[in-house]
């Protein structure tokens, strides 16, 4: 037989693509949804790809966006393939029934990686498991780091987020040809991907494109523009160039990545520091997405599935021994966390009372991750009673110290826990029954909007995925969230938080912690 007779072929708006059948699933990889973002398109909004004649082969993953490798501390835990090439604005489709008429629900996956790393080629994100269960799965590459989130006076903000919008529009216009239903699109992301999904959910340009959304370990949020500018300016100072898109575009790509990695060593979810992020731009992101979703009526009819892992912070602090360093810093580390969260002394005092056996690092990590993740997701759920569903992932990794850390749930959501790349974070022995339960909940939500437990209401139901059979608890660990609701916010470093630690000493504590991060990531 010829390839045309055995391989699935689907026509897109820009040309036909030929995929592969793999274990009964039609897979199309590396389909361009936008033109290569280089040359005159560098740092610019995405443009449609050039149409092609004939049938384009879609058997292999396309190029990944330029990105630095993970540091030595994190590389053993996280897989991040690099595929060379300029045509990095591409996506992949897994479908059980290629062709119009099937009208299957669709999941669009946005990967995490702090907006600086990651790609759709990570093996853990294999969409065949969703297709096996009747869902068309789409995973997306988008611009990262300074290419996607640098803030310049001579270029539009948020090009990476605009890439995701272009991919979402492509899915809405094209997915019916792959067997999907454009009226049943669920936008799903983890970490930076969840933050991106939240921003898109609130964007005026996406209204009507998204039926449901899943936010895993990332709330709708924006970064401070000055913080992003500092990242760009520090890179410019090292490169000895102006902090403009024109000047950055003239820099060798590998040198730009090395410089980005060097400056980025000082950033951390727990400790802050300069970092790339989505910013309010008056257009795609006209205001803070969390406020738009909780107060502004954005995406009112969209159902939400949201949650976190019990020990998010352990992925950020355990690799390289930062957990122990924070414990040694003691009160100064706690003061630094308070400055990071703009919290008064009532908050850490409350955490100490709730967790009397916890060390300083555990208190710092839980404070910051609750402030960044659980509190805003609770706020969003409170604004969406009856249409929001919350979960907590609590199964602990079999690797020392990681616990139920950030990103550990991904192998369970995708039912890919048996892959070597998933075991790098989970270790050996991930229970298949938990994979089955969690993956099935996501399939149910994407298909019907109901993952299988009660929607958020005044009793605060949260589905707990940990050892044993998943269960629904009402308000697990809500006491920590209540601390943030009742404690007054402190606009700057708290003057009374730690005895004999005025503002200058708090700033010094944060610098010491960031230097520890920098040392670990070399």
Q: Is the Cβ–Cβ distance between 275 and 222 less than 8 Å?
A: no
Active site residue 191: yes
312 flagged as catalytic: yes
The number of CA neighbours under 13 Å toward the Cβ of 522 is 5
Cα–Cα distance for residue pair 407/399, rounded to 1 Å: 14
CB of 321 closer than 8 Å to CB of 328: no
Strand partners, 55: 16
Selecting among 14, 172, 371, 406, the annotated active-site residue is 406
In angstroms, the CA 111 to CA 64 distance is: 12
Alpha-carbon distance of 499 to 415, in angstroms, equals: 49
Helical ranges in 427-477 per DSSP H: 432-448
The residue assigned the tokens 């099935």 is 440
Bridge pairing between strands 388-393 and 461-465: parallel
Dmax over CA atoms of the chain, in Å, equals: 80
Closest CA to 453 of 280, 307, 250, 249: 307
Helix (H, G, I), strand (E, B) or coil at 315: helix
The closest alpha carbon to 234, from 256, 202, 249, belongs to 256
Q: Which two tokens stand for residue 55?
A: 């049938």
Instruction: Give the angle 175-177-181 at the CA atoms, nearest 5°.
Output: 45
H-run or E-run covering 34: none
β partners of residue 216: 190, 307
Look at strands 90-95 and 104-110 and give their pairing: unpaired
CA separation for the pair 272, 510 (Å, rounded): 9
Q: Which of 97, 147, 303, 312 is catalytic?
A: 312
Active-site pick, 128, 191, 267, 268: 191
∠ Cα 264 269 275 (to 5°): 35
Radius of gyration of the chain (CA): 22
C-alpha 142: how far from its chain's center?
Answer: 12
303-309 and 471-474 strand pairing:
unpaired
- By annotation, the residues acting in catalysis are 191, 312, 406
């Amino acid at each position: 037989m010829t390839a045309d007779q055995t391989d699935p072929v689907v026509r897109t708006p820009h040309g036909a693509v030929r995929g592969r059948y793999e274990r009964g699933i039609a897979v199309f990889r590396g389909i361009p949804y936008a033109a290569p973002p280089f040359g005159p398109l560098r740092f610019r909004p995405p443009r449609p790809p050039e149409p092609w004649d004939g049938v384009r082969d879609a058997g292999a993953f396309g190029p990944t966006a330029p990105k630095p490798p993970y540091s030595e501390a994190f590389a053993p835990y996280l897989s991040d393939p690099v595929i060379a090439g300029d045509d990095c604005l591409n996506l992949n489709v897994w479908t059980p029934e290629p062709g119009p008429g099937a009208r299957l629900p669709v999941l669009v996956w946005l990967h995490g990686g702090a907006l600086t790393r990651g790609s759709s080629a990570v093996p853990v994100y294999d969409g065949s498991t969703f297709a096996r269960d009747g869902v068309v799965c789409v995973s997306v590459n988008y611009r990262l780091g300074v290419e996607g989130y640098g803030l310049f006076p001579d270029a539009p903000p948020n090009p990476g987020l605009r890439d995701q919008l272009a991919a979402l529009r492509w899915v809405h216009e094209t997915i019916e040809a792959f067997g999907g239903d454009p009226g049943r699109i669920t936008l799903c992301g983890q970490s930076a991907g969840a933050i991106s999904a939240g921003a898109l959910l609130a964007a005026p340009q996406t209204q009507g494109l998204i039926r449901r959304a899943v936010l895993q370990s990332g709330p709708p949020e924006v970064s401070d523009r000055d913080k992003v500018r500092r990242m760009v300016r520090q890179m410019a100072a090292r490169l000895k160039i102006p902090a403009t898109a024109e000047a950055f575009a003239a820099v060798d790509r590998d040198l730009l990545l090395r410089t980005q990695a060097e400056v980025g060593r000082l950033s951390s979810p727990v400790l802050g520091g300069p970092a790339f992020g989505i910013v309010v731009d008056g257009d795609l992101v006209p205001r803070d997405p969390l406020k738009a979703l909780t107060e502004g009526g954005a995406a009112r009819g969209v159902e939400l599935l949201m949650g976190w892992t019990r020990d998010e912070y352990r992925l950020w602090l355990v690799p390289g021994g930062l957990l122990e360093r924070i414990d040694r810093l003691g009160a100064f580390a706690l003061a630094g966390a308070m400055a990071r969260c703009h919290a008064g002394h009532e908050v850490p005092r409350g955490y100490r009372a709730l967790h009397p056996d916890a060390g300083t690092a555990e208190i710092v990590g839980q404070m910051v991750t609750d402030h960044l993740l659980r509190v805003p997701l609770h706020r969003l759920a409170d604004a969406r009673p009856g249409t929001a569903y919350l979960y907590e992932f609590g199964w602990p990794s079999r690797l020392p110290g990681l616990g139920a850390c950030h990103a550990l749930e991904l192998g369970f959501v995708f039912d890919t826990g048996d892959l070597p790349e998933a075991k790098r974070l989970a270790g050996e022995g991930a229970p298949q029954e938990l994979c089955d339960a969690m993956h099935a909940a996501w399939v149910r939500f994407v298909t019907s909007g109901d993952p299988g437990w009660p929607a958020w209401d005044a009793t605060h139901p949260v589905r707990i995925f940990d050892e044993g059979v998943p269960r629904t608890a009402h308000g697990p660990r809500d006491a920590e969230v209540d601390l943030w609701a009742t404690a007054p916010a402190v606009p700057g470093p708290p003057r009374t938080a730690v005895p004999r630690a005025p503002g200058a000493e708090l700033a010094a504590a944060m610098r010491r912690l960031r230097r520890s991060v920098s040392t670990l990531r070399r």
